[in-house]
Amino acid sequence: MIGPYTRVAFKTNRTTLPIATGPQTFQETVSFGHKVTTAGVALSGFKVDYTIGDREFNLTQVDVTLLSVIGDEVNYTVTAWIADTHGITKPGEHHFSGYIDVTITAEVYAKPFPFSLWP
């Protein structure tokens, strides 16, 4: 619930996926500059692509998980995986790269002004 000294803030963060194979998981931290009382994370976009040519694929998985809220920071993980139904026939054949965009929504505590803005 939004209190008298809280506001809702949004930030978007991009995690770049280096060239790799198999599931990749990264822990990310975003700072809001004010104490965060509650937060949520949502997938807002992604690109995951094989690095060697155009390939059929069987599975594309992208997950975003909220881990914790500590002070002014929101901690979460992103996981990406792309796989096909064929076995590996050449080294590097299943390497992929890309990015994951996450939108973080937070209720932040903002101290009131020590004076009135109106007489």
DSSP letter string, the chain: ---TTEEEEEEEEEEEEEEESS-EEEEEEEE-SS-EEEEEEEEEEEEEEESSS----SEEEEEEEEEEEETTEEEEEEEEEEE-SSPP-STTTT-EEEEEEEEEEEEEE-PPPSS-S--
How much is the pTM?
0.79
Domains along the chain? 6-86+94-109 (2.60.40.2080)
Residues 42-77: pLDDT tens digits?
999 998 877 776 666 667 789 999 999 999 999 999
CA distance 49 to 19: 10
Residues 80-94: pLDDT tens digits?
887 666 655 554 556
